[in-house]
Amino acid sequence: MKLQQKLVLLTTLSKALMAVILLLALPWIVETLALRHTDASLRSEQQRVMRRIGQIGITSFLTEPYPNQKVHYDLLQDEFIELRHAVGTQSDTVATLPRQQHGELVDFRVLRHTFALEGQRYTVEIGKSIASVEDVYALLRSLAAYALAFAVLTTLLIELGVINYLLRPVDQIVERLRAVQGPMPAPLPPLPTTTSDFKYLDATIRRMLQKIRLVFEQEREFIANASHELLTPVSILQNRFENMLQAENLPEEAEQQIVTSQRTLHRLTATLRTLLMISRIENEQYARNDQVVVRQVLHDVVAELEDRIADENLTVDWALEGEPTIGAANGSLLFTFFYNLLSNAVKYNHTGGQIRISGQQLAGQPYTVQLFNTGKPIPAEHLPHLFERFRRAGNAHSAEGYGLGLALVRTIAQFHALRLQVASSEQGTTFTIWLPATPLSA
């Protein structure tokens, strides 16, 4: 899961937890608050009653026919005030008590206050029906619920936005790293962020890419220089051997040795030439000015190999749909590319085998060319290393070639942004080439 998603999940969960706790505690909180509010209003009512008694005396309240008791209910009978002679000594209380009302017991919140006046003790009770208190509950509850929902949603949205904004550099860094295709990534501008961690990460990655670039450049330069410097001594030896062979009356044994040495030298030359070529391609020393018609170049390659194909009694099947072209390409490099692949298809085939050249354009996909041969299967463990320099598979392919043909193929593919894949089974080996969807700029 992405960091951003995790953070969003975390925030959402914590908000949900908070909402659940608040919703569970809400009735209790509201009840407590409402009771407290009721009690406070009962007390202020009591003070008003006491003030009134102080002003007009108690007698006007206690009239016949109930000289001992006066009960007054308000219109809706939600509230009452009762004044009576006190019986015994009672302390002041506030409590929820049942009261008879129209033959039913109804809960009231009742404040009881006992006071002395003119040598008499009186008790005043002020009550408020719990039902009316509960109306306040409901109001408070819905208000609290709305406020809670609002708070949860707004903070969630704000946090999501902030998380998204803060973590944007991570996406940018990942995007940049994904964009690095070859071993020579272009230098990147610093990431626009104020977060110091990301700044640090970005700087580290850029330093790393720079280092990779440098190491690769050094390797490339070394290969180019070494190959180039070696070509002159190789030339000297080659010319010397040829001159020696021209000598009259050379003993046959000496001739044989010279020829064997020449063969070794030839191998060395081929290796050096290929290394130089790979290094030149990687140095972008080849122009990409050609528009290469794939069918044409494949025909040219097959024509080039026709003797060997005939010698091995191979059949070549064509199933190339449409007229694929590769724009902004180097024709001679692409010739070498297909030549190496098809030359391998001939070399590793069995006598009387088959080579199939097919190509098709699937909707929404780049054009694919497939080169299939009925050669011995390449073991699965060798497939991932097939295009590496000097890597030789320990099977039928071993001891032949100098392990650079397919490395060159890969380099040319990279140079032209062709995607390349190999698959091998008992039936044979298939090289699949995806042509670039859009032509490269030259």
Q: Which stretch binds other proteins (CB under 8 A): 13-21, 88-96, 180-188, 281-289?
A: 281-289
Nearest residue (CB) to other proteins, 337 versus 367 = 337
Nearest residue (CB) to other proteins, 239 versus 361 = 239
Q: Which of 56, 153, 259, 440 binds other proteins (CB under 8 A)?
A: 259
Position 239 contacts other proteins (CB under 8 A): yes
Nearest residue (CB) to other proteins, 375 versus 405 = 405
Footprint on residues 315-374 left by other proteins (CB under 8 A)? 332, 336, 339-340, 343-344, 347
3-state helix, strand, coil in the chain (%, to 5): 55, 20, 30
Nearest residue (CB) to other proteins, 211 versus 267 = 267
Nearest residue (CB) to other proteins, 9 versus 254 = 254
Q: Which of 246, 351, 438, 441 binds other proteins (CB under 8 A)?
A: 246
The one-letter code for the residue type at 405 is: G
- Please provide the size of the chain in residues: 442
SS3 373: strand
DSSP conformational letter for 378: P
Q: What are phi and psi of 29, to 5 degrees?
A: -60, -45
Position 256 contacts other proteins (CB under 8 A): yes
- Stated as kind and residue range, the H or E segment containing 295 is helix 294-304
Footprint on residues 109-168 left by other proteins (CB under 8 A)? none
Q: What are phi and psi of 289, to 5 degrees?
A: -110, 0
Q: Which of 205, 184, 182, 185 is nearest to 193 (CA)?
A: 205
Q: Which of 422, 424, 392 is nearest to 410 (CA)?
A: 422
Q: Which of 226, 270, 393, 422 binds other proteins (CB under 8 A)?
A: 270
Q: Which stretch binds other proteins (CB under 8 A): 101-109, 153-161, 211-219, 253-261?
A: 253-261
Position 287 contacts other proteins (CB under 8 A): yes
Residues touching other proteins: how many (CB under 8 A)? 52
Return the exposure string of 237-274: e unless at least 16 CB atoms fall within 10 Å of the residue's CB, then b. bbeebeeeeeeeeeeeeeeeebeeebeebeebbebbeb
Distance CA 73, CA 62 (A): 15
Q: Which stretch binds other proteins (CB under 8 A): 54-62, 96-104, 258-266, 361-369?
A: 258-266
Position 286 contacts other proteins (CB under 8 A): yes
Nearest residue (CB) to other proteins, 74 versus 255 = 255
Q: Which stretch binds other proteins (CB under 8 A): 183-191, 280-288, 290-298, 351-359?
A: 280-288
Position 391 contacts other proteins (CB under 8 A): no
The one-letter code for the residue type at 230 is: L
CA distances from 171 to 163, 177, 198, 389 (A): 12, 10, 11, 35
Q: How far is the CB of 267 from other proteins (least distance, A)?
A: 8
Antiparallel, parallel or unpaired: β 429-434 and 368-373: antiparallel
Beta-carbon neighbour count of residue 436 at 10 Å?
Answer: 16
Q: How far is the CB of 390 from other proteins (least distance, A)?
A: 11
Q: Which of 36, 48, 211, 267 binds other proteins (CB under 8 A)?
A: 267
Q: Which of 74, 219, 242, 321 binds other proteins (CB under 8 A)?
A: 242
Please give the distance of CA 237 from its chain centroid, rounded to a whole number.
58
SS3 412: helix
Nearest residue (CB) to other proteins, 255 versus 388 = 255
Point out which residues pair with 87 in neighbouring strands: none
Give the orientation angle of helix 130-179 with respect to helix 196-246, to 10 degrees. 20
Binding site for other proteins (CB under 8 A): 228, 231-232, 234-240, 242-243, 245-246, 252, 255-256, 259, 262-263, 265-267, 269-270, 273-274, 276-277, 280, 285-287, 306-308, 311, 332, 336, 339-340, 343-344, 347, 400-406, 408
